[in-house]
Amino acid sequence: MADFTDISSAVDSAAANARRVSRREFIKRVIASGAVASSASFMAGGLAGCTPRRAAVAGSVERLVSLNINGQLRRVDVLPQETLAMTLRYKLGLTGTKLSRDRAECGACTVMIDGTTVYSCSTLTHSVRARKVVTVEGLRGPNGELHPVQQAFVEELSPQCGFCTPGQVVAAVALLQKNPKPTREEARHAMSGNLCRCGAYDNYLNGIMRACGNHAEISHGV
């Protein structure tokens, strides 16, 4: 009958041999896999110049776009989820468009797209390609003179702090383009999407009434 110590030694030796074989096999496999990877990289690199470029991924958008801003064609690099307000302010330098709540609520970022007012903070820039965008900067005359609405707002002391004024101006101009002679109530309804933190709503309405020549509906009551 074999001695227990001899059996134990034999088992330990066999285990040690198995570990050495495993390590050897492991190293061989690592070296082999590295060689295969290197060969694949070399082949891919060598063939890269002669393979056609893959088509754009479905659903992707072109980064460099052309925008019609205030009658000028502007080329700009636009991120896929970039809003028009961000593009106007930080890419094109048109800071008349204000950002406030940035949640399509206050109207400070109002611009016109094809004659219709929109909140630019909630409009993706990629959606306005081939459309005409007008900001408050685009309303001035050829010699830099104020738009009649801007002049009327000045004369009626419409702005208070002035932060909401660019959006108010754009909204008022859009209104008068569609309805040159609105009543005060019609103007109030049309301007309801523009908030004024100073509460100067009647002042802005007075400015609109002056701009359209409806002086009878200008109210300076306290």
> Quick check: 51 pLDDT over 90?
no
Locate the domains of the chain by residue range: 64-138, 140-217
Higher pLDDT, 29 or 175: 175
Residue type at 160 in one-letter notation: Q
- 111, 135 contact by CB (below 8 A): yes
Each residue of 151-185: pLDDT tens digit?
A: 999 999 999 999 999 999 999 999 999 999 999 99
Q: Are strands 132-134 and 64-69 parallel, antiparallel or unpaired?
A: parallel
CATH of 140-217, one of 1.10.150.120, 1.10.15.40, 3.40.50.150, 1.10.10.10: 1.10.150.120
pLDDT value of residue 21: 54
Cβ neighbours of residue 113 under 8 Å, at least 6 residues apart? 123, 128, 131, 132, 133, 134
Tokens of 29: 């496999």
pTM score, whole prediction:
0.72
Please state the φ and ψ torsions of residue 66, each to the nearest 5 degrees. Answer: -105, 130
Fold (topology level) of 64-138: Ubiquitin-like (UB roll) (3.10.20)
